[in-house]
């Protein structure tokens, strides 16, 4: 008698594999509306944590394992305090939001030493020389950063609807800490901004004709307003040069201008201008705040323009005002 294997039931579903840990973490990050950069960063820290403990599953580990990993970063890795805090936030998210485990306060961590640093600030003459060596789209973005105090990602992500040339103001949406704020439009670059809007609008019209005129919308607004992604008001003021694939949705659309292009252009301009300070696009934000304080503007006004929650964060610029050593006249200058 021969035994014949039964044919699988075509109706019965095959047993599905449970989602992998990183896939679960990625899904949770997207449900909580974390940015794509934060998502990539948190997933990378989760991988490093698992590898550090010999590929053991985090559910088998606890607060002691987290403390060991973070302490190793500080002691052997000699990382900056901000890097250690970033890793800590990623692991706390992993345990609380993905594994459903509330870790106790991590008192045993050896914290990375935070060394007080003053921001790099350019003088007005250095800023003018630097901007003279920048042109095109990167030059306009750099002028916008210095003229408004915006961060580089806030600048390249600027939407058409948030640029109000008639009122002379910019609404900076979803800045650091998910906060909105208002800053001014530098009148000196209004003609360049109008020209940029014309170029971007013509590009958007060509994209619509090619069937790829949609743009990314935050917080699932594309489901609430299905046609908004194709509207001119939602487009980027500084669109990318080419169409790319959205890493989350997997659709073809035009992203915003690549901030790395601005960083490279500024690095070249710093070298060409003969500036010896380690200036980056964020230096333009520091210079914006310092030059406003030098001009006599109230520190609370500068705080609002920068979007700082605490005025003590803004007060750091009082230490780098162009007044020499804390505004004190050297005794050498009093001789004679």
Would residue 198 count as lying in a domain?
Answer: yes
Cβ atoms within 10 A of the Cβ of 211, count? 8
Looking at the structure, do residues 140 and 215 belong to the same domain, yes or no? yes
- Provide the whole-model pTM: 0.78
Q: Which of 143, 151, 181, 256 is catalytic?
A: 151
Q: Which of 48, 159, 176, 230 is catalytic?
A: 176
The verdict on whether 151 is a catalytic residue reads: yes
Output the tens digit of pLDDT for each of the chain's 336 residues: 444 444 444 444 444 566 789 999 999 998 887 888 899 999 999 999 999 999 999 999 988 899 999 999 988 888 888 898 899 999 999 999 999 988 877 766 777 776 667 889 999 999 999 999 999 999 999 999 999 999 999 999 999 999 999 999 999 987 776 788 999 999 999 999 999 999 999 999 999 999 888 888 887 677 777 888 899 999 999 999 998 888 777 788 889 999 999 999 999 999 999 999 999 999 999 999 999 998 888 899 999 999 998 888 888 888 776 555 555 556 656 675
The CATH number of the domain holding residue 31 is 1.10.150.130
Could you list the residue range(s) of the whole structural domain that residue 42 is in?
21-98
Looking at the structure, do residues 208 and 299 belong to the same domain, yes or no? yes
Q: Which of 42, 146, 236, 317 is catalytic?
A: 317
The verdict on whether 312 is a catalytic residue reads: no
Would residue 113 count as lying in a domain?
Answer: no
Q: How many Å is the Cα radius of gyration of the chain? A: 25
Q: How far apart are CA 203 and CA 230, in angstroms?
A: 12
The CATH number of the domain holding residue 298 is 1.10.443.10
Looking at the structure, do residues 207 and 289 belong to the same domain, yes or no? yes
The verdict on whether 219 is a catalytic residue reads: no
Looking at the structure, do residues 294 and 153 belong to the same domain, yes or no? yes
Q: How many domains does the chain have?
A: 2
The verdict on whether 53 is a catalytic residue reads: no
Would residue 115 count as lying in a domain?
Answer: no
Close Cβ partners of 72 (under 8 Å, ≥ 6 residues apart): 52
Would residue 334 count as lying in a domain?
Answer: no
The verdict on whether 30 is a catalytic residue reads: no
Would residue 261 count as lying in a domain?
Answer: yes
Q: Are 190 and 321 within 8 A, CB to CB? A: no
Would residue 197 count as lying in a domain?
Answer: yes
Q: Directed axis angle between helix 281-294 and helix 124-132, to 10°?
A: 140
The verdict on whether 319 is a catalytic residue reads: no
């Amino acid at each position: 008698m021969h035994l014949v294997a039964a044919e699988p039931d075509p109706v019965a579903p095959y047993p599905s594999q449970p989602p992998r840990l990183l896939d679960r973490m990625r899904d949770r990050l997207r449900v909580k509306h974390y940015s794509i950069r934060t998502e990539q960063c948190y997933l990378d820290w989760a991988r490093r944590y698992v590898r550090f403990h010999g590929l053991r599953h985090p559910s088998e580990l606890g607060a002691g394992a987290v403390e060991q990993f973070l302490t190793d970063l500080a002691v052997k890795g000699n990382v900056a305090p901000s890097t250690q805090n970033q890793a800590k936030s990623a692991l706390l998210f992993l345990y609380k939001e993905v594994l459903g485990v509330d870790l106790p306060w991590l008192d045993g961590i050896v914290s990375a030493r935070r060394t007080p640093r003053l921001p790099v600030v350019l003088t007005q003459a250095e800023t003018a020389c630097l901007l003279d060596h920048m042109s095109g789209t990167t030059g306009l973005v750099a002028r916008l950063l210095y003229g408004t105090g915006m961060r580089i990602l806030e600048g390249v992500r600027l939407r058409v609807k948030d640029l109000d040339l008639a009122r002379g103001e910019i609404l900076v949406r979803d800045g650091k800490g998910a906060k909105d704020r208002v800053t001014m439009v530098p009148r000196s670059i209004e003609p360049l901004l109008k020209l940029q809007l014309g170029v971007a609008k013509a590009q958007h019209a060509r994209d619509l004709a090619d069937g790829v005129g949609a743009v990314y919308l935050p917080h699932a607004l594309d489901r609430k307003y299905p046609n908004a992604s194709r509207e001119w008001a939602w487009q980027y003021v500084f669109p990318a040069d080419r169409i790319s694939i959205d890493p989350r949705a997997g659709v073809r659309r035009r992203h915003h201008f690549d901030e790395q292009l601005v960083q490279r252009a500024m690095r070249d301009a710093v070298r060409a201008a003969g500036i010896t300070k380690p200036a980056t696009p964020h230096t333009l934000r520091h210079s914006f705040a310092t030059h406003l304080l030098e001009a006599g503007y109230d520190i609370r006004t500068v705080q609002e323009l920068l979007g700082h929650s605490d005025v003590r964060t803004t007060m750091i610029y009082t230490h780098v005002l162009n007044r020499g050593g804390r505004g004190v006249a050297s005794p050498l200058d009093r001789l004679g």
